[in-house]
């Protein structure tokens, strides 16, 4: 029982750390601001949520009752991350930042297409 709980906690913590690292690698590596916005707002938030879930399970097993602080932080992060990303994207659109051409959704004319 205790060993399986330990393995579950370790897997959660490691998966969370890997997702956080993935988000930051995307932040450094991707070429465009609108592509860079995807990494931290999705991957890093998910990784932090996994680490917080691991902490909630750990402290729920060791104190009487359920430890709800981490659930509160997780909910707050998951609610506020899209709001912040939306505002940052609006600011970037307002400033007319450089966008890559192949992300512009402008498809070349195809003579065979019916529409």
C-alpha dihedral over 47, 48, 53, 58, to 10 degrees? Answer: 110
- Return the number of other C-beta atoms located less than 10 Å from residue 65's C-beta: 7
* Least gap, CB of 106 to another protein (angstroms): 23
Q: At what angle do helices 45-62 and 69-94 cross, to 10 degrees?
A: 170
Kindly list the residues in this chain that would bind another protein in the complex (CB under 8 A).
2-3, 6-7, 9-11, 13-14, 16-18, 20-21, 23-25, 27-28, 33, 36-37, 40-41, 44-45, 47-48, 51-52, 54-55, 58-59, 62-63, 67, 69-70, 72-73, 76-77, 80-81, 83-84, 87-88, 90-92, 94-95, 97
């Amino acid at each position: 029982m205790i060993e399986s709980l330990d393995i579950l906690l370790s897997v959660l913590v490691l998966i969370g750390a890997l997702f956080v690292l993935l988000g930051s690698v995307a932040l450094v590596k991707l070429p465009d601001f609108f592509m860079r916005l995807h990494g931290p707002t999705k991957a890093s938030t998910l990784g932090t949520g996994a680490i917080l879930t691991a902490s909630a399970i750990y402290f729920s097993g060791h104190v009487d009752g359920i430890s709800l602080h981490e659930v509160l932080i997780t909910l707050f992060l998951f609610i506020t991350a899209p709001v912040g990303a939306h505002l940052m994207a609006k600011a970037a659109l307002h400033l007319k930042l450089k966008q890559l051409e192949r992300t512009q959704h402008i498809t070349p004319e195809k003579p065979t297409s019916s529409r």
